Amino acid sequence: MKIFRYIIIVVALALLIYNATKLNFESLFVGDSKVAIICILASACAILLMVILNISYRIKGNRKV
Protein backbone atom coordinates (compact mmCIF):
# COMPACT_ATOMS: atom_id res chain seq x y z
CA MET A 1 0.00 0.00 0.00
CA LYS A 2 2.87 2.36 0.76
CA ILE A 3 4.40 1.90 -2.70
CA PHE A 4 0.99 2.43 -4.32
CA ARG A 5 0.64 5.83 -2.60
CA TYR A 6 4.02 6.94 -3.91
CA ILE A 7 3.17 5.70 -7.41
CA ILE A 8 -0.02 7.78 -7.34
CA ILE A 9 2.01 10.85 -6.30
CA VAL A 10 4.52 10.32 -9.13
CA VAL A 11 1.78 9.81 -11.75
CA ALA A 12 -0.08 12.91 -10.56
CA LEU A 13 3.12 14.93 -10.67
CA ALA A 14 3.84 13.72 -14.20
CA LEU A 15 0.31 14.68 -15.30
CA LEU A 16 0.71 18.08 -13.66
CA ILE A 17 3.95 18.75 -15.54
CA TYR A 18 2.54 17.46 -18.83
CA ASN A 19 -0.56 19.65 -18.57
CA ALA A 20 1.54 22.67 -17.63
CA THR A 21 3.20 22.37 -21.05
CA LYS A 22 -0.24 22.49 -22.71
CA LEU A 23 -1.14 25.89 -21.27
CA ASN A 24 -1.56 28.81 -23.63
CA PHE A 25 -0.91 31.92 -21.57
CA GLU A 26 -2.42 34.16 -24.24
CA SER A 27 -5.88 32.67 -23.62
CA LEU A 28 -5.98 30.56 -20.46
CA PHE A 29 -9.70 29.83 -20.36
CA VAL A 30 -10.23 28.77 -23.97
CA GLY A 31 -10.00 25.30 -25.51
CA ASP A 32 -7.15 23.04 -24.48
CA SER A 33 -5.87 25.49 -21.89
CA LYS A 34 -9.10 25.20 -19.93
CA VAL A 35 -8.80 21.40 -19.90
CA ALA A 36 -5.14 21.69 -18.88
CA ILE A 37 -6.02 23.98 -15.95
CA ILE A 38 -8.69 21.55 -14.75
CA CYS A 39 -6.23 18.64 -14.99
CA ILE A 40 -3.54 20.60 -13.16
CA LEU A 41 -5.94 21.34 -10.32
CA ALA A 42 -7.05 17.69 -10.19
CA SER A 43 -3.44 16.50 -10.09
CA ALA A 44 -2.59 18.96 -7.34
CA CYS A 45 -5.58 17.73 -5.32
CA ALA A 46 -4.49 14.10 -5.78
CA ILE A 47 -0.97 14.93 -4.59
CA LEU A 48 -2.32 16.82 -1.59
CA LEU A 49 -4.64 13.94 -0.64
CA MET A 50 -1.83 11.39 -0.88
CA VAL A 51 0.45 13.54 1.27
CA ILE A 52 -2.30 13.88 3.87
CA LEU A 53 -2.80 10.09 3.77
CA ASN A 54 0.94 9.51 4.27
CA ILE A 55 0.98 11.87 7.24
CA SER A 56 -2.06 10.21 8.79
CA TYR A 57 -0.43 6.77 8.51
CA ARG A 58 2.70 8.14 10.20
CA ILE A 59 0.63 9.58 13.04
CA LYS A 60 -1.29 6.33 13.37
CA GLY A 61 1.98 4.38 13.61
CA ASN A 62 3.45 6.65 16.32
CA ARG A 63 0.38 6.59 18.55
CA LYS A 64 0.68 4.42 21.66
CA VAL A 65 -2.51 3.43 23.43
- The residue ranges of every structural domain in the chain are 2-60
Pick from 43, 1, 51: nearest CA to 18: 43
Per the CB < 8 A criterion, the answer to whether 9 and 47 are in contact is yes
pLDDT of 37 reads: 95
Q: What's the sign of the alpha-carbon dihedral 52, 3, 60, 63?
A: negative
Distance CA 23, CA 40 (A): 10
What does the pLDDT look like over 18-61, one tens digit per residue? 999 999 989 888 888 999 999 999 999 999 999 999 999 999 88
pTM listed for this prediction: 0.85
pLDDT of 27 reads: 87
pLDDT of 40 reads: 96
For Cα atoms 13, 39, 49, give the angle at the middle one, nearest 5 degrees: 55
17 pLDDT exceeds 70? yes
